């Protein structure tokens, strides 16, 4: 099965997709990785995760107005449901995403 490009996943996915705008060199992004995985696990896989390296996809970062990382945008069928930048405490992320499951 061919891998869908990120733009397609964002615009066509019927499930909620949390896009993690990040970079390998970003310390705060690394800090958030286990928190995001834990929260999404606890939500029972109802939200998919798409990690997007801004160095490899600068046009997408620009298109969605991402000016600093980490930055998170929750999409469903191409519509933005929620967005937030920076390091988030686990309970804040959980609370925010729970409303969309």
- Asked whether 66 and 21 are in contact (CB, 8 A), the reply is yes
State the catalytic residue, choosing from 9, 10, 17, 29. Answer: 29
Is residue 29 part of the annotated active site? The answer reads: yes
Phi-psi label, residue 15: left if phi above 0, alpha if psi -120 to 50, beta otherwise: beta
For residue 73 the two structure tokens come to 């945008």
Residue found under tokens 């929260």: 39
Is residue 78 part of the annotated active site? The answer reads: no
State the catalytic residue, choosing from 26, 35, 49, 81. Answer: 26
How many other CB atoms sit within 10 Å of the CB of residue 49?
Answer: 14
Residues 6+ apart with CB under 8 A from 31: 87
Residues annotated as catalytic are 26, 29
């Amino acid at each position: 099965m061919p891998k869908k490009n990120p733009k397609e996943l964002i615009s066509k996915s019927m499930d909620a997709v949390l896009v993690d705008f990040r970079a390998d060199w970003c310390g705060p992004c690394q800090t958030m990785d286990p928190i995001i995985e834990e929260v999404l696990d606890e939500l029972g896989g109802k939200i998919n995760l798409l990690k997007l390296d801004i160095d490899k996809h600068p046009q997408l970062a620009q298109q969605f107005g991402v000016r600093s990382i980490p930055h998170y945008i929750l999409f469903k069928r191409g519509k933005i449901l929620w967005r937030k930048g920076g390091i988030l405490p686990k309970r804040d992320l959980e609370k925010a995403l729970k409303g969309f499951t």
